[in-house]
Amino acid sequence: MTFVRIIVTSIVSFLILATASAQLSSTFYSSSCPDALSIIKNATVAAVENEARMGASLLRLHFHDCFGCDASILLDDNSTFTGEQNTGPNDNSVRGYDVIDDIKSEVEAACPGVVSCADILAVAARDGVVALSGPSWTVETGRRDSWTAIASDVLTNIPFPTFNLSQLLSLFSDKGFSADEMVALSGAHTIGQARCTNFRTRIYNETNIDSTYATSLQSNCPSVGGDDNLSPLDPTTPKVFDVDYYTNLMSEKGLLHSDQELYNGGSTDDQVKAYGNDADTFTTDFASAMVKMGALSPLTGSSGQIRTSCGKVN
């Protein structure tokens, strides 16, 4: 039954990706808003130059918007609606909404009602990675924005920092990703920071962590309190998109439990080693996996809408 489930999941995922790819295009705005990509790039670069962490934040915001890539995460809560922003792993964690809002305002001034918030987020995520010396990839556009958001989807579609390897593999497999693609996408943690509450248990209770590294983290993450104190996911080069995330895992310096699970005597150890020793392979695989993720079940054609403001439906 497990084998059949994997085959069925793979076939369904392939059909969804094939359909989405046919409706998305790298030249979607060439005529309707020819300056869209340059506007997004310039604004993103400026935001990252102002705060390097923003590159990671925009990438994470895009990841948490997918699997779906429909800008549902950007919808603000109101008196009659509870969305995704304050649910599960998004709560007090995902950020960058203001940057996307600012970019949307610039794009709307140039091309009213043309460019979706979902596309802005997908392009900004790529441009933020490039601004931190990471790889580029072709972002196909043509996504449309959702009419709503479903808070409960966050709990089933986004990995928690407490996940073990089996849970990670299962979640990504359900979306059509191989184990290698999961490891590649996890390399996004070469940039960005995490809150103390998400790694406290690891640095005080787990044994597969470098003792000196754990002690250094404890000074900023006490056993009680300090939940919002931040530490870099990659302590070596936290503002550069590189392979140090993987070399850190090989030295038992993964910040999150879910990170170290990728290199803990399990089936993904060899892939972690491969990326840690070959930056070109990692960046190529990461870029390919990002293209695939960006094509997961987007709204296209006449589905959804083009929001005027990313935080609310028209």
Catalytic residues, which ones?
64
Query: Coil, strand, or helix at residue 194?
Result: strand
For residues 265 and 85, the answer to whether their CB atoms sit within 8 Å is no
Residues 6 or more apart whose CB falls under 8 angstroms from that of 238 comprise 191, 192, 193, 232
- Unique residue bearing structure tokens 């928690």: 160
Residue type for position 35: D
Q: Tokens standing for 240?
A: 């550069």
Each as own residue / partner, the long-range contacts of residues 62-65 (CB below 8 Å, 24 or more positions apart, any chain) are 62/121, 62/122, 62/124, 62/125, 62/294, 63/125, 63/185, 63/188, 63/293, 64/89, 64/90, 64/94, 64/154, 64/158, 65/118, 65/121
For residues 140 and 119, the answer to whether their CB atoms sit within 8 Å is no
Query: Coil, strand, or helix at residue 215?
Result: helix
